[in-house]
Amino acid sequence: MSIQNFLNSKLSVQFSILIGKYLPQEWGHGFSRQLGTLISSFRNWDINRHIRLNQFVVQGEQLTNDQLVRSAKNVLTHAGRCYYDLHHYINRPEALNDLVPLSAEMREFIKLSKQKQGYMVVAPHLSNFDLVVSRLIRAGFEGRVLSHPNPGSGYQLQNEIRKSYGLELTPLGDQGLEAATIDYLKNGGVVATGVDRPLPSRKKRHFVNFFGRPSPLPLGYITMALAADVPIVVVTAYMLPDGRYGFRHSGPIPLKKYANKLDNILLNAEMVLKKIEAYIRLTPEQWLMFYPVWPDLLEKGL
């Protein structure tokens, strides 16, 4: 089993839950920082190679090897902090309200979710998105989230946690459910999904430009939004300098219509990804993507 598979396993998630529940904040943050530092010290592990590759691209392809190693450490320690905070605060509503204050942008987004207009909401893996979503739901957000069709044991447990705070999950891959999701969008529903995890089986002709390089990213959210004729809204979480979490949203992004079917998908996806690029650039070391988004670059030996 690779370290990445272990970190995604049920045992690893259960351990993370225990740490979050029972360690006080100072100890929990210290432990997660030390664990992230330890994992980052094994430079040849796939997870570190993938993070360095991704950080190399999003930080302008200018970082030296030593800078990339430090960047990977920062990503992993931030991830540990996020996992601790998620499990420590998820069932502490009053403390959660302080950690994730209800901002004007959050209120605007919740208001959007209650309109009769449908929206396809997309998000990158930035910072503590699960915790911010739980705050949005408690404040009145209404919508569904598309989930991985064949989740491993760790992801299954994470999905159970998401359901526990009121998140409605719809698995991808079932044509009947996809048709129902399109109808839901047409009737004013809000559907959310992640869009920055690469698909290894993606054909090269379906790659999209992301940070100026071709990448095998998902495209299903574009086809569903086009079929339902609804705009896209990009949302992100981020950590503030004081350790609290914030939220950003793009507002509605209308999709364009092209004569060519493939252009219709790829060019609209790239338009949306430009907004995601801008958000990632604001806090690049809070981008918790542990898969190689540009697999062709693995040969560079970063």
Altogether, the residues listed in the chain come to a count of 302
Nearest CA-CA partner of 237 in 14, 8, 82: 82
**Residue boundaries of the structural domains of the chain:** 3-92+289-300, 101-283
CA distance from start to end of the chain: 23
pLDDT digits (tens, 9 = 90+) for 10-36: 777 787 888 888 899 999 999 999 999
**Dihedral angle, C-alpha 133, 137, 142, 145, nearest 10 °:** 40
Which amino acid is it at 129? F
270 closest CA partner among 214, 193, 230, 202: 214
- The torsion region of residue 38 among left (phi > 0), alpha (psi -120 to 50) and beta comes to alpha
| Residue 14 confidence (pLDDT) | 80
Q: Rounded to an integer, what distance in angstroms lies between the CA atom of residue 241 and that of residue 187?
A: 40
Full-model pTM: 0.93
Strands 232-239, 213-215: parallel, antiparallel or unpaired by DSSP? unpaired
Question: What is the Cα Rg of the chain in Å?
Answer: 19
Tokens for 15? 């351990």
Residue 1's pLDDT is: 52
Give residue 281's pLDDT.
98
Structure tokens at 288: 């918790």
- Please give the full DSSP string across 165-201, using - where no structure is assigned: TT-EEEETT-HHHHHHHHHHHHTT-EEEEE--S--TT
In this prediction, the residues of the chain whose per-residue pLDDT falls under 50 are none
Q: Residue type at 152?
A: G
State both tokens at 40: 């980052």
Is the Cβ–Cβ distance between 36 and 103 less than 8 Å?
Answer: no
| Residue 144 DSSP code | E
Indicate the class that CATH gives domain 101-283: alpha beta
Q: For residue 252, count CB atoms less than 10 angstroms from its CB and return exposed for 0-12, middle for 13-18, buried for 19 or more.
A: middle
Query: How many Å apart are CA 186 and CA 117, to the nearest integer?
Result: 8
